[in-house]
Structure 1
Amino acid sequence: MFGARVIKTAVAVAASILIAKSLHLYAYQFAGIIAVLSVQPSLYRSLRNGVQQIASAMMGAVLGAAALFTLGDSFLAMGFTAFLLMALHVYMKWTNSLLVSVVIAINTMGTVGLGFWAAAYNQVTLVLIGTIIGTLINLLHKPVHQERAEEILRQAEGMLRTLLHYILLDLERGRMTPYTSMKSQFDEIRAYIRKGKEISGLINEDKKFRKRRTKNTFTIFQSFETMLERIHDMAKVLDQADLAAGTELAFAQKTLRIVIAMQESVIKGKRLNLGRLQLVLDKRRNQLWTDSTDSEGFYNVYGHVREYLLELERFTVEHTGRVKRYLSYSSIDRPGLIAEVSRILEQYNLNITDVSIRVNGEFAATTIEVSSVAEFDEDKLVREVANINHVLSAECK
């Protein structure tokens, strides 16, 4: 099946050539070539390339006419003119429209039967027709990438969960699949996520042309990239780990089951407290570090799982369209203060996703990461927190 861009390009080519031919322009088919270059995968690129092509056409026509007037139409003059235009475009970083400028300059210098100013006018008009028609058709039927990005997102998330299932099955068998056998799967998923990032980049380019807020799939794919690398690290570590440790093996299996269940719940739009599992993993890692057992592999695995959960939290915020903010306040260190702040956050329907506290003597600096389904009055929240007894200052960003 042909995509919408193929059809739009064909229509733009036909319309551009028809208009140029109706105006009795010389080499009217050149307008169709410009139209092909003007139909870009995003509106932003169409408009940007359109402006660059028109400016490059002007430069090519003027320089071509000037070179013809001063140097003549010899092959050396044409080569020198092309060199100047290419050097100028590379310096300006306008390489997308370099070809247009060079072709117009050469056509202006080599057009037979027309004066050089008439030839320049002819070439610039062809570029204007192709650029305007191509851009207008792209505007009339805007490129749609959100659905493609969403589909790749669903597929990529499913692939990540499948990898976790594979690792869990290996742990249950007590024997890991060799890392070399899984490497091709990781490479395939990396390429898939990379494709999703490219499409999401096109969506971000056209943000200013959309009225409604859409999911930031680019950020999600960035999280997926990190999540994939953490699974990759788990597989490599477990491939070398001693799986004979029964107690630790059972804990690792339980941890992966919980992570998989949490990720499935996130996809269904459920609200989860991932921070609790992160605290459990931190406690377990501290125990392994203190005991100095032969469970170094599992110590590292739990660290990778914890980092995986951090990215899963970021995915949750973007997937559900939640607003993410950081509330920071300095205070005199006293018990129960965090509970008072939490009660205020609950009044604003804010979900606490992470807490960081630094204590320096009698003083403490606290940063709370929160998320919400909608925007909220940040100034009012800061005032209420700042009015709590023993809080010295507060800010939200």
Structure 2
Amino acid sequence: MKLGARILKTGIAIMLALLLSELLNVPSPVMAGIAAIFAVQPTIYRSYQSILEQVQGNLIGAIIATAFVLLLGNHIMVIGIAVIIVITINLKLKLENTIGLSLVTLISIMESPGDQFLEFAAIRFSTIMLGVFSAFIVNLVFLPPRYENRLYHKISDATGDIIRWIRLTARNASDHNLLKSEIEKLRKTLSKADALYSMYKEERKYFKREDAVKARKLVVYRNMLSTSEKALEMLNRLHRFENEYHMLPEHYKQSIQEQLDCLITVHEQIMLKYIGKVRQEAAEENPVQCLDKREVFRLFIARQKEYEEEEDNHLYHTLQIVSAILDYGEHVEHLDILVTSFLSYHRGENEVEIEEQVLE
């Protein structure tokens, strides 16, 4: 089990909130610790957004709690009605993420009103906001998230697994049931990579020049994801129509296998070229020669004419495999253009950042 950065930051945020509460002699410092738990976010940008939302949500909870106690007291029925109103207001204002902490603020204020209730309410509200700001400080200073590293390696690992399965399946060497479960796992892995892409997209740069580099990187990573998804779709079709594929004439199956080997080799090379493990000059001097996509389609048409007596379903399923190969090939070609263009304009600006290791 890995000790993740968010686990560490949550612990540090709680300690900081409790420490500040103790230094400021705040009563019930535990409320600050609870608030810090709610406020820890995976990115600095989300943490900033969270503060804005939490201030609004906690104000709603504090105002409703104060008004209800002053007007109706703190009977359990009154607290229940106040909870319903706070939830409704938060939903109307699209502050769904703050509902939990708003209710903590509400209940902590309404629990035991005394003679100096307004002062008590203000202290409770301030204590909770202390926890929120403690979490923001920790997210900003301690272990700032570096999602680019994790994003690249998540895509690269998934792509490597997909490519290995394509090689095996194209040679009739994969287990049908095992491959079926692996395809589902790979879909989930790419879904997690997509979530990491969203988090990386939210990270903010401090200089305009860095913004320009990041904008190009976002395009590259988006296409890395889509190319891996197309590879997985092709693997899925090879798996789904494996009987039809292995019933193909040997010379035609050999042509498809050679095209697949070529495409996945180029795909691997692109992923390594992006992080500087394959020299761009070497790739240009010794390019991997794949069949032209028009030639792949001509092979299918020639086979259709040659075997017109075959049932339509067999040809239709073969066409599904061919179309997936063509689609994957176009994405690989486009990704190669994007990576080559990026490295031409930003040579040396990516290697170190990708190779650094960060806590998961």
Q: TM-score, normalised by structure 2?
A: 0.80
In structure 2, C-alpha distance between the alignment counterparts of 1:178 and 1:57, rounded to whole Å: 56
Distance change >3 Å, CA 76–CA 289, structure 1 → 2: same
Q: TM-score, normalised by structure 1?
A: 0.73
Q: 2:38 matched to which residue of 1? A: 37
How many aligned positions are there? 321
Q: CA deviation at 1:102?
A: 1.5
Cα RMSD between the aligned structures?
Answer: 2.6
For residue 24 of structure 1, give the secondary structure of its aligned residue in structure 2: coil
**Gapped regions of structure 1 (runs ≥ 5):** 171-175, 324-371, 376-397
Asked if structure 2 preserves the Cα contact closer than 8 Å seen for 1:46 and 1:135, the reply is: yes
Q: 1:57 matched to which residue of 2? A: 58
Q: 2:231 matched to which residue of 1? A: 227
Q: How does 1:132-211 map to 2 (within 5 A)?
A: 132-141=133-142, 142-170=144-172, 177=174, 179-208=176-205, 211=210
Q: How does 1:304-323 map to 2 (within 5 A)?
A: 304-318=324-338, 320=339, 322=341
In structure 2, C-alpha distance between the alignment counterparts of 1:308 and 1:126, rounded to whole Å: 55
For residue 171 of structure 2, give the secondary structure of its aligned residue in structure 1: helix
Distance change >3 Å, CA 314–CA 30, structure 1 → 2: farther
In structure 2, C-alpha distance between the alignment counterparts of 1:287 and 1:27, rounded to whole Å: 80
In structure 1, C-alpha distance between the alignment counterparts of 2:56 and 2:301, rounded to whole Å: 64
Distance change >3 Å, CA 57–CA 182, structure 1 → 2: same
For residue 242 of structure 2, give the secondary structure of its aligned residue in structure 1: helix
Asked if structure 2 preserves the Cα contact closer than 8 Å seen for 1:227 and 1:311, the reply is: no
Q: CA deviation at 1:237?
A: 2.0
For residue 322 of structure 1, give the secondary structure of its aligned residue in structure 2: helix
Distance change >3 Å, CA 145–CA 7, structure 1 → 2: same
Q: How does 1:113-132 map to 2 (within 5 A)?
A: 113=114, 115-132=116-133
For residue 25 of structure 1, give the secondary structure of its aligned residue in structure 2: coil
Distance change >3 Å, CA 228–CA 26, structure 1 → 2: same
Q: 2:345 matched to which residue of 1? A: 374
Distance change >3 Å, CA 222–CA 246, structure 1 → 2: closer
Q: CA deviation at 1:135?
A: 0.6
Range that drifts further, 27-36 or 215-224: 215-224
Of 240, 256, 261, the match for 2:260: 256
In structure 1, C-alpha distance between the alignment counterparts of 2:200 and 2:168, rounded to whole Å: 33
Q: How does 1:323-362 map to 2 (within 5 A)?
A: none
Which of 1 and 2 has greater Rg?
1
Which has the higher relative contact order, 1 or 2, with Cα contacts under 8 A spaced 6 or more apart?
A: 2
Higher strand share: 1
Identity %: 18
Distance change >3 Å, CA 222–CA 34, structure 1 → 2: farther
Higher helix share: 2
Asked if structure 1 preserves the Cα contact closer than 8 Å seen for 2:169 and 2:239, the reply is: yes
Amino acid at match of 2:53: Q
Amino acid at match of 1:35: A
Q: CA deviation at 1:181?
A: 4.1
In structure 2, C-alpha distance between the alignment counterparts of 1:263 and 1:2, rounded to whole Å: 33
In structure 2, C-alpha distance between the alignment counterparts of 1:292 and 1:52, rounded to whole Å: 66
Amino acid at match of 1:322: S
Range that drifts further, 300-309 or 114-123: 114-123
Distance change >3 Å, CA 184–CA 289, structure 1 → 2: same
**Gapped regions of structure 2 (runs ≥ 5):** 274-282, 347-360
Distance change >3 Å, CA 123–CA 317, structure 1 → 2: farther
Amino acid at match of 1:164: I
